[in-house]
Structure 1
């Protein structure tokens, strides 16, 4: 007999990498998880098929406001304890003056604008006392930007952090915990094969932080150990 999960999560952007491992880790801990991907195939579908019903797949192009609204309608009536948005692209290590305008726009729309659109569209599903969280990066810290390189990616994550700060100010009385998470430099398609961290080791620590901080007021920018990352 299946047991109904006591905690429910929606993970946006879980087709691969950190999002895929995050969805799987939550399901392994007994959460009921809805995870989104642009296509219903690949590793996420395989994880869902093996999850015993704890992990479901929904199709979503996160940059589409229409698809976000349609997902909200499909999930109407569900109460979420966690809404987690994971999305980022990188288009190379160019000085900012050499970045084509269309590339700048693509990265900013994907890494900064779309995560906040997703939160605004889906926050109504989050229960009182629930958590809304976004995958950020230490690279988005202005005060820690003391080495060269990856200027556009850093700028997009700093913009994400600033927009999340505005979101937290606008919705300061909604009772939701609000988190920006720095998972560290992981071996993913984005992080590269030489990154020092394995997502299978770092993401369980991230979930520990999500569970430990549930119910905390205000916005916090934290790393995978639960330590504050400077803005």
Structure 2
């Protein structure tokens, strides 16, 4: 298996807080150069991290649900040769049966969790080196096989849609040598995961980066967890 020299340059989409901020922090700790995005122009923990990074972290503004902003970011990053593009995004509304979900809520979850990550990948993917990696934060809840308990129906559906769209992207780019990853970070105690989740962020993200680095050079699409275990579709 051919591995390019790591660490390199990573673009982390959605790095202002929780999992995304922890991902940027861990990549920096391992020697990567990181470009991290935040929504809007408010000061975030990512800005604080940049101030102590010795110039290895830069902050960009991006609302990834806005295609014009994605295109503008691509133009600003023209000439960069990325080794990793990591799209970290996810929202979940009320945990109710799908028949009780408003059209507006359903649309917002699907646009944020499935459509927008692929728009980012379609637009920014060409900046990633042929030996690089494109990764998206997915979830075991996107696995149809593993859905034996139900619940969180629209969130599950959005992650399944994300996985399916990545399968289509991989099929259209079958000749590419890039590594494509859908990563389940585990059930993590965040606003999204809730207080009853099994893992602290500090227990999840180092494993996510271990998996990223271990999978480097494996072309094609892989659906894996933070312990580098393959998940069923």
- For 1:229 and 1:64, locate their aligned partners in 2 and report how far apart those are by CA, in whole Å: 31
- For 2:203 and 2:45, locate their aligned partners in 1 and report how far apart those are by CA, in whole Å: 18
- For 2:169 and 2:136, locate their aligned partners in 1 and report how far apart those are by CA, in whole Å: 12
- Residue 53 (structure 2) pairs with residue 27 (structure 1): no
Report the counterpart of residue 173 of structure 2 in structure 1.
171
Equivalences for residues 177-196 of structure 1 within 5 A: 177-196=179-198
Q: Contact conserved, 2:26 with 2:205, CA < 8 A, in 1?
A: yes
- For 2:19 and 2:133, locate their aligned partners in 1 and report how far apart those are by CA, in whole Å: 18
User: Unpaired runs of 5+ in structure 2?
Assistant: 1-5
Report the counterpart of residue 51 of structure 1 in structure 2.
53
Q: Offset of 1:161 from its aligned partner? A: 0.4
Q: Contact conserved, 2:7 with 2:30, CA < 8 A, in 1?
A: no
- For 1:161 and 1:115, locate their aligned partners in 2 and report how far apart those are by CA, in whole Å: 11
- For 2:195 and 2:58, locate their aligned partners in 1 and report how far apart those are by CA, in whole Å: 29
Change (3 A) 1:155 1:6: closer
Q: Offset of 1:39 from its aligned partner? A: 3.1
**CA deviation digits over 1:118-161, x for unaligned, max 9?**
00000111011100000000000000000021001000000000
SS of 1:192's partner is coil
Q: Offset of 1:196 from its aligned partner? A: 1.2
- For 1:167 and 1:148, locate their aligned partners in 2 and report how far apart those are by CA, in whole Å: 28
SS of 1:88's partner is coil
User: Unpaired runs of 5+ in structure 1?
Assistant: none
Report the aligned-residue RMSD: 1.0
SS of 1:220's partner is strand
- Worse overlay, 34-43 or 100-109: 34-43
Q: Offset of 1:173 from its aligned partner? A: 1.1
**CA deviation digits over 1:16-61, x for unaligned, max 9?**
1111100110011110000000134121111111111111110000
- For 2:204 and 2:109, locate their aligned partners in 1 and report how far apart those are by CA, in whole Å: 25
SS of 2:90's partner is coil
Match among 140, 157, 160 for residue 158 of structure 1: 160
- For 1:58 and 1:189, locate their aligned partners in 2 and report how far apart those are by CA, in whole Å: 23
- For 2:150 and 2:218, locate their aligned partners in 1 and report how far apart those are by CA, in whole Å: 35
Report the counterpart of residue 151 of structure 2 in structure 1.
149
Q: Offset of 1:6 from its aligned partner? A: 5.5
Q: Contact conserved, 2:176 with 2:219, CA < 8 A, in 1?
A: no
Q: Contact conserved, 2:13 with 2:38, CA < 8 A, in 1?
A: yes
Report the counterpart of residue 116 of structure 1 in structure 2.
118
TM-score, normalized by length of structure 2? 0.95
TM-score, normalized by length of structure 1? 0.96
Count of matched residue positions in the alignment of Structure 1 and Structure 2: 227
